Amino acid sequence: MKRCSRCKIEKEIDEFGVHTKEKDGHYSQCRECAKESNREAYARNPQKWKDYAVVWKNENRERVNELARKRYDPEKARESDLKRIYGLTLEEYNSMMLKQGGKCCICGGKEKKALHVDHDHITGKVRGLLCRRCNVVLGFVEENLNILDLLKEYIYEHA
């Protein structure tokens, strides 16, 4: 048991943060009071803390990257990207995938990874799921039917 120097309440030792320079190895304030102290200090001078954070991140780049790698969750990132870019939930994407039988809308091919979301770049409307190859081809021709017709003619002429 330890008494918090701020709220004066006696609490279990695990309610205090670890601080190796203190005699007992823990901060004098409980975690709850320490959070409140930090909030008050930030409110008094937010720019000071923002500047400190920038300096700390620059001086600890490897640690920042390591922490980011540990926190990165590909499933959450995928879900976030689908929502942010296409307005789709993961459930809606999975439903589209089931309707298409896990195959590309154009060529019927399967991908080792997830299929790409095809959408109209003007309206933003989602049209279907494509394999990488079909998605790239569609992107290169910029959805221009004239270019597609010319490509078709070219292939027939040189076959």
Provide the residue range defining the domain that includes 62: 2-69
DSSP element (H, E) containing 34: helix 31-44
Same domain? 94 vs 142: yes
What is the rounded average pLDDT of the residues 140-149?
A: 86
Same domain? 99 vs 61: no
Residues shown for the chain: 159
Joined tokens for residue 33: 């009071």
Give 17's pLDDT tier (boundaries 50, 70, 90): very high
Same domain? 56 vs 100: no
Same domain? 87 vs 145: yes
| pLDDT, tens digit (0-9, with 9 covering 90-100), for 29-84 | 999 999 999 999 999 999 999 999 999 999 999 999 999 888 888 888 999 999 99
Same domain? 21 vs 55: yes
Same domain? 95 vs 116: yes
CA distances, 64 to each of 19, 56, 59, 69, 76 (Å): 21, 9, 9, 9, 20
Same domain? 61 vs 86: no
Predicted pLDDT of residue 144: 84
Are the CB atoms for 134 and 104 separated by under 8 Å? Answer: yes
Share of the chain above pLDDT 70, in %: 100
Same domain? 79 vs 153: yes
Are the CB atoms for 28 and 22 separated by under 8 Å? Answer: yes
Phi, psi of 54 (to 5 degrees): -65, -45
Predicted pLDDT of residue 124: 87
Predicted pLDDT of residue 142: 80
Same domain? 46 vs 114: no
- Average pLDDT of the residues of the chain: 92
Same domain? 40 vs 90: no
DSSP 14: G
Predicted pLDDT of residue 70: 87
Number of compact structural domains in the chain:
2
pTM for the full model? 0.55
CATH number for the domain spanning 17: value is: 3.30.60
CATH number for the domain spanning 80: value is: 3.40.1800.10
Give 141's pLDDT tier (boundaries 50, 70, 90): confident
Predicted pLDDT of residue 143: 76
Same domain? 81 vs 97: yes
